[in-house]
Amino acid sequence: MPTSQPPRALFAMNPVHLPELFPPRLMRRLQSSADVDAALVVRDFGDPAIAGALAEAELLLTGWGCPRIDAAVLHRAPRLRVVLHAGGSVRGWLDDAVWERGLAVSSAVQANALPVAEYALAAILFAGKDAFGLRERFRVEQVRPPAGALAGVGNLGRRVGIIGASRVGRRVLELLAPFEFEVALYDPYIDGATATALGAVPLPLDQLLATSDIVSLHAPDTPETYRMLDQRRLALMPDGAVFINTARGALVDPDALTTELISGRISAILDVTEPEPLPARSPLYELPNVFLTPHLAGSLGNELERLGRAVVDEVERLAAGEPLLHAVHHAQLANSA
């Protein structure tokens, strides 16, 4: 049943993001379903000035820059029942106390996966055309390369290896479907039938690396995936292969990757690195076989509204007495981003 009174809600994030997450038309939608002050954005739960608002809050609407929510915060928020995050992962800033008290949690991780998958698709298509390598050559020679130099360039029948059937990985698989690629997938948490249903051939990781022209990484950052692509595994990639990382830099041994890229044996399209940003002395800034971007694949600019819309949708579901669509459960965190 719909609630008789709109729930009291409170923003907690870096306020610079609020106008992009909730532009006026979206803020109006939100305020029709929740009692929320658009001028009050919490940066510090210990601030005495927000004590009253925190004590009355039933919903926390969080985003990037939200302070950590722990047992002390929950003690000052006795009416709090739901945390709705206008961002991706909630790991790292939600204390176990949140789950122990039984709060409902939702994340816009599905919405945030969309632009990352779009970036990955673009990277895959450009990689198959050797767009970045040929651009570097064109910059130097300023003439079109001879036909013989283009042998093997193109996306028809190229093997693309996807590591991780995460939300991003699955969306990438969907986006690849119209193209005539051979798609392989490695994910230890899904079976062969699921991989096939996703449009991919299931392969062990070593075999995927050794047989793919393009490898796109979409696994979560967990203790199990730390440095999963080490020196031995990177060496399995064929000469001329392209490695794409829009996941996290920690999944790859940075020294081993740098060594491979300096050799010129493989190329890379990197939106994330380890560390991030790279130090000024890193050769990756200058290598012609490396296309480096500053962690821009995820939601930014006008794409942030999509994250805010996911939160407003959840608030409207709660107001209508419906369950959260993008609920996050504590047991999921160990194997998710």
- The catalytic site residues sit at 248, 276, 295
Of 122, 126, 119, 193, nearest to 155 (Cα)? 126
Of 295, 190, 306, nearest to 246 (Cα)? 295
Euclidean distance between the first and the last CA atom of the chain, given in angstroms as a whole number: 34
Q: Residue 56 is encoded by which pair of tokens?
A: 């009355």
In whole angstroms, what is the distance from residue 181 CA to residue 310 CA?
32
In whole angstroms, what is the distance from residue 36 CA to residue 38 CA?
6
In whole angstroms, what is the distance from residue 9 CA to residue 305 CA?
19
- What is the secondary structure of 55-111 as a DSSP string? HH-SEEEE-TTPPPB-HHHHHT-TT--EEEESSS--TTTB-HHHHHTT-EEEE-HHH
DSSP state at residue 284: G
